[in-house]
Each structure stands twice: as structure tokens, then as C-alpha cells.
Structure 1
């Protein structure tokens, strides 16, 4: 049994899968040849297989969502909503492209990544926890730390002979000790930040469900008061956790270096320089940032 979701065109699932496979996380099964993806997500606190296959083409896209056995109608609808969220199916990329194509530097990137969507994490907790892990270390090692964390919590489901780990819940991480994370190569501060953040969720000090009703500025104000979460993590939470469209992480050194190369600048631009440059990218600063990162095989 399955249900069809028709994303807004253009929608290039092949590029999306390629972007996801570059993260090297072991909780996703990707078949780029058959254009399919499988991973375990959590629906109503229950592990659920998300199995999506692509049909059609970039301008006539179709996602087939396979429905697991013994799922209620409500759970099925939550699964469909999750697919729409993760793959940004409702974003009008044509409007985005029309807005950004006035830049002679961004237009070639639009042609190169035509149809590539923001790929969002299935839960806001997973997005923020991963971003804390990714802070100030290279992406390959960060992905390995994420994999080790999932192995440590030992929650997994067998799918077609493969055991897919589940990203741990706030409750699972909150029960860990700092030393347990240090033994899998987390440094002391990163171990503290991840576990303390999970404990804040469990204790009700932070209500992530409420974030969806808040403005960017309100979310920034809340997360700025959380130890271990800085400006970059908040901006990337809005971008890769919530899919907010007008986010420019101007302080990101990798993004600034990409802009230096794309614009042919003699020096790496400052954060203020990037903010000034990105003023004209509104209201789609997120896609400008994303495509620039992708051009350098970042994120």
C-alpha cells in the first residue's frame, strides 16, 4: 500500500539523494539507481519505516510513500506530512529562482542545482543535536560522531537484512553521561552541550513543538540563552531544521570562502560584507546560502 505525493516542480530527487548520501550517516539506505530512500523515523514515539521512491521527472515529479503495516490513519497522515517537510515539497522554487537569477553569480548555481531542495531533518530535536555535534569540526568526523552516538544508544530496526539505527530521543541522550560520549571521541564541552540540551527538552525547559508558531527572531531569542548553542547553530536550525527561507549564516567561514571564490574576490569577505551582499537575496537567502555551500560540496 502506498500514497502519492506530488511535489511542486522542479523537483530533482536524484540531486536530493546525492546530497543526503554525502553526509555518510548510517541510518539511511539510499539507492541512487532506483531513486529510493529508506530510514527509520519516529511517529508518536514509535519507530516507523519511511520508504520513499521517485517516479516521473524533474518537471513532473511524483513521490510514492510506502505505508507500513499496522499504521493508523492518523499515523499515516503524520508520515505524509513528514515527507513533505523533509523534502520541502511545497516550496515554490520557480519563484525562488526568479528572485535570485538577477545575480550573475547565483544564476549559474541555479542552473547547476536546478530542482535541488532543502533537505530537512525529520525532527527539530535531531536537527539541533546534530548541529551541536557539527559545530567547529569537519563534516566527515561530525558524521562519524553522529553514527557513534546512534550505536551507543543501540536503538535499531532491521530493514531488508540491514539494521538501521534510530537517532536517539531526548530521553535516551539525557540518560547518558559525559564520560560515555567522551569514550566515543566527543570532547568534554560537546558532550556537555548535547546531553544538557536533551535534558532541557526532557525537563520541559524548551518546547520545540512551540517553535513552529514562532518567528525567526523569537526562536533566536530562546536558543541564544541555551549553553552551547550559538548564532551559527541557531541559523542552521532555522534553515535545515525548519526550512525557513530567508536565512543567511553570514558568519560561516566556509560560506564566506565560497563567496570569495565565486565572486573572484581578493580577500575573504567579512560577516558584514556577506550580510550586505545578501541583502538582495531576500526573501530566499536560504537557497542562495544552500546552493553556494553545495557548489563547494559543503553541507
Structure 2
């Protein structure tokens, strides 16, 4: 990590293959996002470190650096807590990852050539908090994206913390400790199925009991982490790979049955039918160790 502090502002040096427009373009694609706000290319978000709530504004300067300003007197006094804020931002934007070989591969790949050129500099935007990533995976199952965002907003605004600034609330995702104390009846007025309520409460209980954590999964091989996730009620192959990709940062994570991935391949290849799983396996051979990035760039074509 390369960062510094100048007059209370955190300055993060960005990798060469980072593009502000590509990343903000992704972050602003859904108007009903409740976990951050973007206005005039400035991101405002609460970053929670334990009980500490830091409200930050992030500004990208000339694709060279990120300036992180603390609002509302929320700058942590201890340096290690400020470092945790930096860690979160690195995780969120996958800043430790050198994408050179991905772009080299994508240049000649029939499917990735166009998206890699059009969205060059886009990172796989992460969800660093495991509980949030798992909840988002469960909420998004078998419904369209805009309805999933609506459910997330209902869930967050009912059970999450918020920090108010300039008359607006900025939200923190509910903690697993809090959700573990609920029953599906408590979630009844959020328009999700009873099964999804049960899955989310079950995940919260596993985390509260110490049976599931990001650290445990990160210390496993990809296959072992995938198996551990698949044992959890409500987590199938799609959700497991989504979490492995966006939270745990396994680059080989590949939600091969994803509808968006299938539709993107169909669109780019101008097919009059959906590609089969065997066809996708064959097309993805050159993506070895970059499956998560390939998937993310192909998703990006659709919106």
C-alpha cells in the first residue's frame, strides 16, 4: 500500500491501470444504491471500523491519487484506525492488484477485447465486509437487480446505523450480531421471501458463533473456501462464487451460470440463442486466473 497524510487528508497513490471514469461509471450505474453517494465525481461513504464510524469523501485526482477527507470530526485519532480506513478503500477498489497481464490477455480475446478497451481501468469493485457480501448475494437470488437494490435499502434503513451530515443520512450495513438476534417474522415487512430471511439470519448466527469469518475463508484454498460456503443453507454455486469474487478476492471465482454473463456472451457473439455451459467453459479457457475480472468486464457491457 502506498499512502500518506497531508494536513489530515489521506493521499493514496493509485496504480497506473486505474481509471476514474470507468470506476465511477460502475458505481453510479444504480440510482437506488444506499451504501454511498456520488455527487460531482466525489464519493461520500461511512467506513465502519469496529464501533468507529468514519464519514469520508473520496476524490480521484488525474487518475494518479485518491484524496480521502474525513467529515463531521470523524477522523480517528489512532493511526492504526486510519490505516484500517485505507485498507478498506484498497479492498473496495482492489488497488493491490496489478492488472497488466489481464489487459494483455484481453487485448486478443474475442469476448474481452471490446469491454477491456471500453472500460479500461475498471477494477472489480469489492464488498469488503463478508456479512454484507453474503446478504447481497442472497438478496439478489432469482430477482432483477433493481428489486434487489430496493430490498437492500429496506434492510439497511431498518437495521443499519447511519451518520447524518448536511441533512442527509449515510448508512452502515447492519451487523451480523444484530441480525443474529432476529427471527424471520421481524423481517416480514421487508419484501423478501421467508426463505431469504431465514438464510440471512442463519448466516448471521454462523458469524456470531465464530463458525464463519472472512479471515477463516481467506486462509483456505479456493476449492476449500468454495466448499465451506456451499455448506451454508441458502448459498449455492452462484452466490458462493459471487462472494469469492467480490469479497474474498479469489481471481479464479467464476459464476459460470450467471444470467448476466450468459446474456453478455450472447450479445457480443451476436447469437440467436444462449451459449451452452460447455461453450462458456471453452471460451473461458484463456481467462485462467482472471475469471473474476473477465466476468466483471462482461457484466459491465450490459448496463
If the length of structure 1 is used for normalisation, what is the TM-score? Answer: 0.93
Give the deviation of 1:93 after TM superposition: 2.1
Partner in structure 2 of residue 256 of structure 1: 262
Alignment of 1:77-116 (within 5 A): 77-116=83-122
My pick for the range that moved more, 202-211 or 138-147, is: 202-211
CA distance in 2, matches of 1:111, 1:94: 13
Partner in structure 2 of residue 285 of structure 1: 291
Q: Deviations over 1:99-123 (max 9, x none)?
A: 2222133211111101111111131
Partner in structure 2 of residue 12 of structure 1: 19
CA distance in 1, matches of 2:218, 2:178: 24
Which residue, 201, 207, 217 being the options, matches 1:211? Answer: 217
Partner in structure 1 of residue 201 of structure 2: 195
Partner in structure 1 of residue 67 of structure 2: 64
Runs of 4+ in 1 over 4 A off after TM superposition: none
Alignment of 1:162-177 (within 5 A): 162-177=168-183
My pick for the range that moved more, 48-57 or 196-205, is: 48-57
Judge conservation of contact 1:109–1:295 (CA < 8 Å) in 2.
Answer: yes
Which residue, 212, 227, 230 being the options, matches 2:233? Answer: 227
Which residue, 244, 248, 269 being the options, matches 1:242? Answer: 248
Give the deviation of 1:260 after TM superposition: 1.4
Structure 2: tracts of 5 or more residues without a match: 1-7
Partner in structure 2 of residue 28 of structure 1: 36
Give the deviation of 1:284 after TM superposition: 1.2
**Matched length:** 292
Q: Deviations over 1:15-59 (max 9, x none)?
A: 21221222322231112x2x21111121023222232111013xx
CA distance in 2, matches of 1:207, 1:269: 36
Q: What SS is found at the alignment partner of 2:284?
A: helix
Give the deviation of 1:172 after TM superposition: 1.4
Give the deviation of 1:264 after TM superposition: 2.3
CA distance in 2, matches of 1:159, 1:295: 35
Partner in structure 1 of residue 123 of structure 2: 117
CA distance in 2, matches of 1:223, 1:195: 15
Q: Deviations over 1:153-200 (max 9, x none)?
A: 152111232111210000111122212222121111111111111111
CA distance in 1, matches of 2:251, 2:160: 35
Question: Aligned-pair RMSD on alpha carbons?
Answer: 1.5
Pick closer, same or farther for the CA change 1:62–1:81 going to 2, 3 Å.
Answer: same
